[in-house]
Structure 1
Amino acid sequence: MLDVTLIRHGEVEPQWKSICYGAMDVPLSPAGQAAGQTLAAAIGQQSRADFVFHSGLSRTASLAKMIAVHFPSARVIEDDRLRERDYGDWQGATWDRVYHSDPENFNGLVDDPDNYRPPGGETTTEMQSRVVQWFGDLGRIDHATKVIAVSHSGPIAALAGYCHNLHASEWQPWMLKNLEAIQLLSDRSAAADTWLPPRCRRVF
């Protein structure tokens, strides 16, 4: 069985909360660091890991390294397919400014996921495709039976949406808060020697 836990990174500094920071490298706040240490210790007591992934952005890499301390034999791997959505030219602006720059099309993020693209950014479907590809590739890694990945709210919701066959407009319940997580479980079909569709649930 492939057992994958995806955790959203900890909180960032308060001044970023009204900003569209997307794929920008915004670090954890001191409170986010402290809460991450507490969570990492709890995970270390209750679980195991063969691999610990992160997106390469410091807010995920920091937590991944905290977790990996408790699993000395686990490999820590950076994979940018786990990064938050690239919002292109919107990044660094307030969400209020972003909305008022294109109010008629803003909802295209969820209403038209295949086609609506923030200027210089990626579509919702492109973001989902890369994180689904990442998950699919896990089944090709030898001994990758227990995986922990630290990612972002968008890619995690996109992967949950894939598991439950949801349209992007239905992902909102899977948009995690800081340090919340989902678990994906997938069994291998002995007959076809392929991985069966994953089951997905929230775990904390």
Structure 2
Amino acid sequence: MTAVSISSQVLLIRPGATLYDEQNRVQGVLDIPLSEQGKTEVARLAERLATRDDQTALSALYCGPGESVVRTAEIIGKALGLRPRRIDEFRNLDQGLWQGLQIEEIRRRNTRLFRQWIDDPRTICPPQGETVEDAMERLRAAFKPLFRRHADEAFGLIVGEPIARMIACYLKRVPRLHLDEFLPCCGYERIEVRADLLGGNGSS
């Protein structure tokens, strides 16, 4: 039996900005379109990704639901010659009654609860929202067929925040999740992930 090193690469892409991003509002699963700024950001990102020659080519492109995410995926997919496939399990974290509120408004209403959410979100569930553990369960299930399908390949995944940080935490095996306010929109990172993340033994 010879050990075989099997890994996949994920190009984790965040969508362009919406008006909620520009106003520092919690978006969650609310369906908000790209703003004019967001459209410009995505166009620039698509051009950058299409002209990079130092990266492994993507074999496929996936995205979560939501207008800003899907539109970002369409623009980037066109630039890369890939048709994005939507996977509903990659929807954003449902943040319940916090959705639509400005970050500062939530902080003023309950400083301690919000600070705990930022520092250790696994311990807090926004009112009528989704727990981090429930979201992580559906993320793990969604990744299983993708890693079987794309062993030793790279694929792109476009998702919003904060689900993007949760995915990065999962793929990198970071033991603790932090939600330090909002990351810049329309960024990306390439993450190399070994197949044994999903329980494979890596041998043949």
TM-score, normalization by structure 1: 0.78
The answer on 1:157 being equivalent to 2:165 is yes
Deviates more, 1:100-109 or 1:80-89: 100-109
Match for residue 166 of structure 1? 175
Match for residue 17 of structure 2? 11
Maintained 8 Å contact 1:37/1:66: yes
Q: State how far apart, in whole Å, the 2-side matches of 1:136 and 1:195 are.
A: 15
- Partner of 1:65, secondary structure, is helix
Match for residue 178 of structure 1? 185
Match for residue 71 of structure 2? 62
1:64 Cα shift? 0.7
Q: State how far apart, in whole Å, the 1-side matches of 2:77 and 2:61 are.
A: 7
Q: 1:195 to 1:23 in 2, by over 3 A?
A: farther
- Partner of 2:185, secondary structure, is coil
Higher helix share: 2
Q: Within 5 Å, give how 1:49-128 maps onto structure 2.
A: 49-72=58-81, 74-111=82-119, 113-128=121-136
Maintained 8 Å contact 1:139/1:195: no
Unpaired stretches in structure 2, ≥5 consecutive residues: 1-6
Higher relative contact order structure (alpha carbons within 8 Å, sequence separation ≥ 6): 2
Maintained 8 Å contact 2:119/2:180: no
| Equivalent residue for 2:27, pick from 9, 14, 21 | 21
- Write out the 4+ residue segments of structure 1 that deviate beyond 6 Å after TM superposition: none
Maintained 8 Å contact 2:74/2:83: no
Report the AA paired with residue 62 of structure 1: R
Report the AA paired with residue 156 of structure 2: I
RMSD: 2.9
Aligned residues: 191
Q: State how far apart, in whole Å, the 1-side matches of 2:195 and 2:102 are.
A: 45
Q: State how far apart, in whole Å, the 1-side matches of 2:202 and 2:144 are.
A: 9
Report the AA paired with residue 154 of structure 1: P
Q: State how far apart, in whole Å, the 1-side matches of 2:202 and 2:35 are.
A: 39
Deviations 1:51-100 (A, max 9, x none): 2111111111111111111333x342112332222111121222233233
1:195 Cα shift? 6.1
Deviates more, 1:57-66 or 1:79-88: 79-88
- Partner of 1:133, secondary structure, is helix
Q: State how far apart, in whole Å, the 1-side matches of 2:71 and 2:152 are.
A: 22
Maintained 8 Å contact 1:8/1:176: no
Structure 1 vs Structure 2: percent identity of aligned residues? 20
Q: State how far apart, in whole Å, the 1-side matches of 2:43 and 2:185 are.
A: 13
TM-score, normalization by structure 2: 0.78
1:121 Cα shift? 0.4
Q: State how far apart, in whole Å, the 2-side matches of 1:85 and 1:127 are.
A: 7
Report the AA paired with residue 72 of structure 2: L
